[in-house]
Structure 1
């Protein structure tokens, strides 16, 4: 392990030497990291975790024997498990990874800005983080989502999103500047944004309450109208949505007095 500093204690795990070296180098260069250790596979990783305490483990998924998902499942049973971030060349395991409690899912080759965002999430998930930096802090990290397209990264502000549409392991963010794909299941994004004025009103849709102009009852069902289009509302969510819109209207009225 590199000399300990005031930052995060991190373990990088990958059975490919070149990939492990690249990841370790990125971690050592990243702001907020105090110590970096490496393990060439799941079993060496378990030995290091038994002997030392780490804040986070950056895991490859496809490894011989015990794969990264299985290792993460074992770590989750520890009394104080490290925060898990998956680093992989494939995007087919995202749902399973988030289901195991991973805070992020990075695709190789890892971009420094994506690594920085993942480390920020890790810091806010630690038990000794400030009380107001656990759930609210994580929410603020996701106040802007990095969207990659054509070799460029754009940051889409949460405040610019009117509604979100599920696209398998991705979500499509609908904004006035266009629609943007982001790699995250809608169930996970809904958890992060539900305290920031968003509501999951349908299995496949998340909407910003402030973006709703009116509710429309049609033969096909109930729809929330936004300036970017109509969003379907499931029957089970209709009552809660009406209640939340009514409360929001009352709060605005009270605040204007």
Structure 2
């Protein structure tokens, strides 16, 4: 499938580099550029595009505003957000984004995103959100997915529990379940995901019911999710024994 692509990015060198990488892919021979949201909307009014690779933080009309405009088109293009921050991932999912790439964009991830545009419905890559960027005041903390023992929903946020502490990020638990599922994260409860490889045992209590014990703490396991979790734990043990 030959795609017509629009790159929307206010930083010239970043925009040109992304466009160059895209034109190097066989699926995207036709790439146009826009230096901001307003320019993107004008271009979208002059022709149709199959995909828009869209920065989030731009002066004037930002990426989220452009995405909402795209949603109103009779034949909207696929939206791929390209941004330096993970903080907008949940909102991007709500806008129906096909993919969410973090800067600097790796060539293999860009190729995966283009493949998803060309073949709608393709599964998210297993390394999606392999590192979560957490903003804490003036500091930025990078949390590796493999260090997270379990995730707990807290309103519009998710608290990631690791052996060294917890981190609050603006993501939805359902989004994490989708992208971290291939990496071994399983729903244990309506408000919890647990990493199978960090579960040490299951413990039944009279007060709290079934609990999955991890080094970072205990996770409640609901009756609805107990069977699936036990099956995943058994499968992990069998795989380790081979």
Within 2, Cα distance between the matches of 1:217 and 1:83?
45
Q: Which residue of 2 aligns with 1:154?
A: 141
Structure 1 residue 228, shift from structure 2 partner: 1.3
Alignment partner of 2:45: what SS? helix
Q: What TM-score do the two structures reach when normalised by structure 2? A: 0.71
Cα deviation, residue 193, structure 1: 0.9
- Aligned CA-pair RMSD: 3.9
* Distance in 1 (alpha carbons) for counterparts of 2:46 and 2:103: 22
Match of 2:80 in 1: 84
SS in 1 for 2:171: coil
- The 8 Å contact of residues 157 and 168 in structure 2, kept in 1 or not, is answered as yes
Q: For this pair of structures, how many residues does the alignment match?
A: 222
Alpha-carbon distance, 1:59 to partner: 5.6
- Post-superposition Cα deviations, 1:112-156, rounded to whole Å, max 9, x if no partner, equal xx532599755422137999xx646x3224222222334333322
Query: 1:57 aligned to 2:54?
Result: yes
Bigger RCO (CA 8 Å, 6+ sep): 2
TM-superposed CA distance for 1:104, in Å, is: 3.4
Counterpart of 2:228 in structure 1 is 240
Of 67, 70, 78, which residue of structure 1 is paired with 2:68? 70
The 1:150–1:32 alpha-carbon spacing in structure 2 relative to 1, beyond 3 Å, is farther
Structure 1: stretches of 5+ with no match in the other structure:
1-7, 13-19, 106-113
| Partner SS for 2:115 | coil
Runs of 5+ consecutive residues of structure 2 not aligned to the other structure: 24-30
In 2, Cα distance between equivalents of 1:230 and 1:139? 26
**Counterparts of 2:110 and 2:22, CA distance in 1:** 11
> Which residue of structure 2 aligns with residue 99 of structure 1?
94
Q: Distance in 2 between matches of 1:167 and 1:242?
A: 25
Distance 2:215 2:179 in 1: 24
Alignment of 1:217-228 (within 5 A): 217-218=204-205, 219-228=207-216
Distance in 1 (CA, whole Å) between partners of 2:106 and 2:96 is: 14
Q: How does 1:106-117 map to 2 (within 5 A)?
A: 114-116=102-104
> Residue 27 of structure 2 aligns with which residue?
none
Displacement after TM superposition at 1:71 (Å): 2.2
Greater helix percent: which structure?
1
